[in-house]
Structures are given as structure tokens and as C-alpha cells.
């Protein structure tokens, strides 16, 4: 699955809106129900309103299939060394991923890193912390 997601992330990257950073990022994920969603980063002139590719894909997925969990996600950038999900994306993923969700990061040539979500973001703050 990760190679299919990698290709979809590369395609999604081409639709990114990145006039400020100049870095088009792509993401693709598959939910546990098998549905696939993609996203590119969407930047904004008010920089703080920018949304990373991973979160675009996650918003699309969760707005269509609330309650689903992410089974696997790929993010690709044009950097020589793959960019992993940023801290904000990791926190968002903590809401919709599981400990064993597969996370892959790559560049334009190949996937470079693969890990589980718990390896990417150990001791994440999750909805379980709010349980009474
Ligand atoms: Zn991010």
C-alpha cells in the first residue's frame, strides 16, 4: 500500500498552493475502511493560516468518514532529506491515528523513512487523556 500512497502523494503535491515557501508537499493516507485521501499544503498570505499537506488530507478524510482511524500515511517533499510531519500535524494525527499507524516520509525519488505513529510521536497527548 505504501507505494500506491507514495505515488498519490507525489500527484497531490503538484496541486499544492505554496507560493510563499516554494515547497510543494503532498500527502496520501488510507483509512481503516480502505478509503484513500490526498492533500497538498495550502499556504496563505497570512502565514499562520497555512495548512500542511497531511492535515489537508486528514480533514478531507475525517469530514467524509468521521470516526475512522488512519491506517497508513505518506508525506513527500522536494527536499533531499525527507521532511517528517511537523509538531502540529503530529498532534492532529494523535486524534485520528493509532499507535501502529504506519507513517512514511519521502522525497521526489523515494520513500526514506517508515515508522509507526507511536515511534514518530511517543507519549502523545490523546483523547484518552481526557477520559474521566
Ligand atoms: Zn505539518
pLDDT digits (tens, 9 = 90+) for 47-98: 999 999 999 999 999 999 999 999 999 999 999 999 999 999 999 999 999 9
| pLDDT tops 90 at residue 8 | yes
Q: What is the 110 CA–ligand 1 centroid distance (Å)? A: 20
Q: Which phi and psi (to 5°) does residue 97 adopt?
A: -105, 175
Predicted TM-score (pTM) of the model is 0.95
C-alpha span between 25 and 11 (Å, rounded): 10
| pLDDT tops 90 at residue 132 | no
Average pLDDT over residues 39-46: 98
* 75, 25 contact by CB (below 8 A): yes
Q: What is the 71 CA–ligand 1 centroid distance (Å)? A: 18
Please give all residues whose CB falls under 5 A of ion ligand 1, grouped by chain where several chains appear: 52, 86, 89
| pLDDT tops 90 at residue 41 | yes
Structural domains in the chain, sorted by start: 2-129 (3.40.140.10)
Q: What is the 50 CA–ligand 1 centroid distance (Å)? A: 9
Q: What is the 84 CA–ligand 1 centroid distance (Å)? A: 8
Q: What is the 1 CA–ligand 1 centroid distance (Å)? A: 22
* 92, 58 contact by CB (below 8 A): yes
Burial class (CB in 10 A: 0-12, 13-18, 19+), 66: exposed
Average pLDDT over residues 108-117: 97
Per-residue pLDDT, 124: 94
Is 54 part of the annotated catalytic residue set?
Answer: yes
**What are 33's three cell numbers?**
475502511
Q: Among 32, 54, 64, 119, which one carries the catalytic annotation?
A: 54
Per-residue pLDDT, 131: 86
Q: What is the pLDDT of residues 118-129, one digit of tens each?
A: 999 999 998 889
Amino acid at each position: 500500500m505504501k507505494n500506491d500512497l507514495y505515488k498519490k502523494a507525489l500527484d497531490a503535491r503538484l496541486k499544492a498552493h505554496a507560493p510563499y515557501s516554494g515547497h510543494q508537499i503532498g500527502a496520501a493516507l488510507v483509512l481503516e475502511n480502505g478509503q484513500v485521501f490526498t492533500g497538498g499544503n495550502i499556504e496563505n498570505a497570512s502565514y499562520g493560516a497555512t495548512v500542511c499537506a497531511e492535515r489537508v488530507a486528514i480533514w478531507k478524510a475525517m469530514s467524509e468518514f468521521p470516526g475512522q482511524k488512519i491506517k497508513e500515511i505518506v508525506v513527500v517533499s522536494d527536499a533531499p532529506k525527507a521532511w517528517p510531519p511537523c509538531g502540529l500535524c503530529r498532534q492532529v494525527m494523535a486524534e485520528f491515528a493509532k499507535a501502529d499507524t504506519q507513517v512514511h516520509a519521502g522525497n521526489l525519488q523515494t520513500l526514506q523513512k517508515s515508522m509507526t505513529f507511536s515511534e514518530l510521536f511517543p507519549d502523545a497527548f490523546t483523547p484518552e487523556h481526557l477520559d474521566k
